[in-house]
Amino acid sequence: MVPSNRDQRWPNYEKRKAGLLVLLFTHAAYAIGATGAEASGFIAIPLVKTYNLKEPDFDPPNSLFVNGGALYGESQPDTSKLLHALNLDIEWDDYGYLATIQIGTPPRDFKLLVDSGSADLWVPGEGCQAGDGSGDCGNHTLLGPTFSSSFRHSGEFWMVKYGSGPVAGHIVSDHVTVAGLTLKSHRFALALRESKHYTLNRTLYDGIMGLARTVGWNHNLPSLVESLHGAGLIKRPIVSYRIPRAADGRSDGELAFGGMNPAKYKAASVVTLKNIGPIRFWEARMDSIVINGITLRIGRRSAILDSGTTFILGPRKDVALLHTAIPGSRFSDGLWYIPCHTEVVLSLSFGGRAFPIQPRDLRATPLNKDDPNAECKSRIGEMRGRGGSQWIVGDVFLKNVYFSTNLEKNEISLAELA
Ligand SMILES: *[C@@H]1O[C@H](CO)[C@@H](O)[C@H](O)[C@H]1NC(C)=O
Ligand SMILES: *[C@@H]1O[C@H](CO)[C@@H](O)[C@H](O)[C@H]1NC(C)=O
């Protein structure tokens, strides 16, 4: 998720009313192309964990495709190994990707949304409340002194605001185990107020694992990969993503720490890109967009590669140009529609290599449930509130490639999947 970049203040706990207002506006930003958010003067980085694309009869997602594959380092951590990996579970229809880590003494499982677009790790704390006063933080695993004897509270305030709303609490420390590697007294955040989105029982993750660069974020919390590297548990501060697709029905999703997993990508296809984002993000120069072999004239563009964003979001002009090149596309009421059975081949080019997106990844829900073969909402949408040359490239693209970030070199690698 790419947090809002304008208003970083959050209502403290006393100013609950103001908080509610903010929450309402942020939720407006859920809908791709929604207007209210812009008018409010509040950021509209349209979203991210998009449960509600203006769909009144939308079934709430509550299915989880559990990745059962046996992987590295689960039971016998061997720190001489280069790679230590976690399975990635799929939230609903590829809306998000979840990894399970252990926190506390005794260690308990926490399911976290894997987010290369933010930097903080947080889990809900004992006493956590919904920011709108509607109740507790739902059916999620909580952390606190009752559950963990190694839990330590710093009392320091913490807050981050995502497209789907703010989360606030305190900075704490506890033992954290990732793919069998244990960090003693890792510093992270404990959420005590969450926007409604995160408290829902149907939200299948407890908290968020931010894997962006930590420079430029407010609280200077070390990311998991920084701590693992600093503690000598991984040799290189690299995180690699094999983002899976629910429709494939395979357990091939993986989040690897320490390197790239040679079993998951074609070695000859790797392109390595300089991170051009000055702070915060994994951002690469995007050479071009190619549709059915034709290169669109969009000029100099960059892409924030964000596993925590479901869709692909771009400047309005680019998004319009792109859809216009898709046969049968249509724009209506702020949204783009494409034929559900489009066979269009759309590629994003990085480092001189075009990476195609499977046509089925481009479509979201059918417009008309009674005619699911007709028009579908596009999974490429307009973004507001950021410069006209920046894209946020989420899972719609990332599940078509192998994606890796290297903190030490400040580089991003992309490769074709094996
Ligand atoms: C959420 O789950 C908890 C525990 O299972 C349950 O007590 C609570 O009523 C649920 N909340 C809603 C709104 O369904
Ligand atoms: C609460 O969470 C547990 C474990 O994730 C799940 O099995 C159960 O169905 C959930 N209950 C509700 C009411 O969502």
> What does the pLDDT look like over 244-257, one tens digit per residue?
998 888 888 999 99
Rounded to the nearest whole angstrom, what is the distance from the C-alpha of residue 86 to the centroid of ligand 1?
28
- Give residue 47's pLDDT band: very low, low, confident or very high (50, 70, 90): very low
Give the CB-side neighbour count of residue 16, counting CA atoms within 13 A. 10
pLDDT of residue 161: 87
Residue 410, pLDDT > 80, answer yes
Residue bearing the bigger pLDDT, 60 or 328? 328
Q: Classify residue 141 as exposed, middle or buried by CB count within 10 Å of its CB (0-12, 13-18, 19+).
A: middle
Give the C-alpha distances (Å, rounded to integers) separating 333 from 32, 34, 120, 337, 351. 10, 9, 35, 10, 35
- 3-class DSSP state for residue 354? strand
Percentage of the chain surpassing pLDDT 90? Answer: 63
pLDDT for residue 23: 28
Ligand 2 centroid to Cα of residue 109, in Å, is 14
User: What is residue 28's three-state secondary structure?
Assistant: helix
**Across 299-322, average pLDDT:** 93
- Output the residue whose Cα is nearest ligand 1's atom 2: 139
Which listed ligand is nearest to 110 at the C-alpha?
2
Least confidently predicted of 34-48, 97-111, 153-167, 394-408: 34-48
Q: Tens of pLDDT along 136-160?
A: 999 999 999 999 999 999 989 999 9
311 Cβ neighbours under 8 A, 6+ residues apart: 32, 50, 364, 379, 380, 381, 394, 395, 396
How sure is the predictor about 370, in pLDDT bands with cuts at 50, 70 and 90?
confident
Q: Looking at the CA of 134, which ligand is closest?
A: 1
Mutate to test the pocket of ligand 1, among 194, 198, 201, 206 (most ligand atoms within 8 A of CB): 201
62: pLDDT strictly greater than 50:
no
Q: What is the mean pLDDT of residues 191-213?
A: 93
pLDDT tens readout for residues 264-290: 999 999 999 999 988 889 999 999 999
Q: Compute the distance from residue 203 Cα to the ligand 2 centre, in Å.
A: 10
315, 322 contact by CB (below 8 A)? no
For the segment 158-170, the average pLDDT, to the nearest whole number, is 89
Determine the pLDDT at residue 33.
28
Q: Which residues contact 395 (CB under 8 A, 6 or more apart)?
A: 94, 96, 97, 243, 307, 309, 310, 311
CA 296 to chain centre: 27
| 325 Cβ contact list (under 8 Å, min separation 6) | 291, 292, 294, 296
Q: Which domains does the chain have, with CATH numbers?
A: 12-257 (2.40.70.10), 267-416 (2.40.70.10)
DSSP 8-class letter at 246 = G
- Higher pLDDT: 55 or 72? It is 72
Ligand 1: centre distance to CA 200 (Å): 9
